[in-house]
Chains A and B, each alone.
Chain A
Amino acid sequence: LAKTTQPISMDSYEGQEVNITCSHNNIATNDYITWYQQFPSQGPRFIIQGYKTKVTNEVASLFIPADRKSSTLSLPRVSLSDTAVYYCLVGDRNYGGSQGNLIFGKGTKLSVKP
């Protein structure tokens, strides 16, 4: 599985756009990029997944350059409730080989201030 590197923490203010970049230099051809969000004392929650270019849903956008060695999660106009840990994961569509377990790093702790 490709290793990912992301900032340990980020600070932002309400109403700002937040971009969290994840590096995955060894991404394989079959790998997808997925982001999860985790609030304290809760399980992670799927945010978005993409393979290339741009993916957008009601929560976030995911930008993936042509070489796919990095990706950027973009959260528009964050609010206090977006304070959470964000995990970038890279793997094939079923992850972890044939079995599907997710491999999490330490994630990025986003703090949104008023």
Chain B
Amino acid sequence: DTGVSQNPRHKITKRGQNVTFRCDPISEHNRLYWYRQTLGQGPEFLTYFQNEAQLEKSRLLSDRFSAERPKGSFSTLEIQRTEQGDSAMYLCASSLLAGAGEQFFGPGTRLTVL
């Protein structure tokens, strides 16, 4: 399977704990995006990488959130001191630098904060 993969698929944590999610994009894709989706809503943009450079961050991405893409391949999204409001599906997508608007999404990581 050469699609976008995300791990873990599900994560349950207690409020105040730190969590880290991983995204492996399609290998030749330069761009990598993180989105968050809550029930009944469309995905909301969080941040975006072009190769290893983080080029844009949404105001939704508070100081407790940090994302990295150290070698321009896989990416991690860490949430520190989780809150119940962080419960959501976290989606990763990738695209070619010159992609015509088509982003390829992974299956997502569903986070539940108790």
Are A and B bound to each other? yes
Binding site for B on A (CB under 8 A): 32, 34, 41-46, 49, 85, 87, 89, 91, 93-96, 99-107
Instruction: List chain A residues, Cβ under 8 A from B56.
Output: 96, 99, 101
Which of the segments B68-76, B80-88, B102-110 contacts the partner chain? B102-110
Instruction: List chain A residues, Cβ under 8 A from B104.
Output: 46
Q: Is the CB of B108 within 8 A of A100?
A: no
Q: Is the CB of A106 within 8 A of B42?
A: yes
Chain A contact residues: helix, strand, loop or mixed: loop
Q: Is the CB of A101 within 8 A of B33?
A: yes
| B62 CB–A CB distance under 8 Å | no
Alpha-carbon separation in the docked complex, A106 to B41 (Å): 5
Choice from A46, A85, A106 contacting B103 with Cβ under 8 Å = A46
Kindly provide the distance from the CB of B69 to the nearest chain A CB, expressed in whole angstroms. 14
Q: Mark interface residues in B86-106 (1 if CB within 8 Å of A CB, else 0).
A: 000101110100011111111
Q: Is the CB of A43 within 8 A of B100?
A: no
